[in-house]
Amino acid sequence: MRLSTLAALLGAAALTPCHAFALSDSLGSLGSAAMQELHRTYTDGQPEFLIPGYSWHDPHTYTATKRAQLNDWAIGLGWGHLRTDDEGNTEQVYALAFSDSHHDVEPVVGYAKQWMWRPFTPKLHLGIGYTIGVTSRADTLKNFPFPIALPLLSIGYHNFTLYSTLIPRFNGSPNNGNVVFLFGGLRY
């Protein structure tokens, strides 16, 4: 079994409520509080079907030749639980897998927090926040799982949300980073 597949399965298993409490005992009070919050989001949250869709590669970062080789269509599937707090902000636990820029499967397991704004109607929502999680990539650490922390923006209407995040450029070398990743969420 590929390491990335194993990481996705273990991450998804870690989202289940029984594992959250078992792990919280070994992490101390801060870890316990965080795991209880994840458990609350999972149990009280509304299921959400996630649809990865598109990766935009910055033409100022990537050469035209390299962009022609890259996969823009990040096709995949995901699932999560989204909880809205008393102030209208959201927390989410999720797992998804999609075709990355090099046509390899990239699994991601994570948590997201967004502060929401409903400017015109309660059904229209705009969000800004962050996501943290674990992923693995064939071109980065040879599929060894590593942590991520990324900004997260969203716009949605009623039960559908379009999410976006930016994978920033970390060094000055060409052909890496500055990728905008778009995916949809449908609560049911």
Q: Which residues are catalytic?
A: 57, 100-101
| Residues forming beta bridges with residue 150, ordered by sequence position | 131
Cα atoms in the 13 Å half-sphere on the side-chain side of 74: 24
Q: How many helices (H) and strands (E) does the chain have?
A: 4, 8
Judge residue 183's burial from the number of C-beta atoms within 10 Å of its C-beta, 0-12 exposed, 13-18 middle, 19 or more buried.
buried
Classify the phi-psi angles of 177: left when phi > 0, otherwise alpha if psi is within -120 to 50, otherwise beta. Answer: left
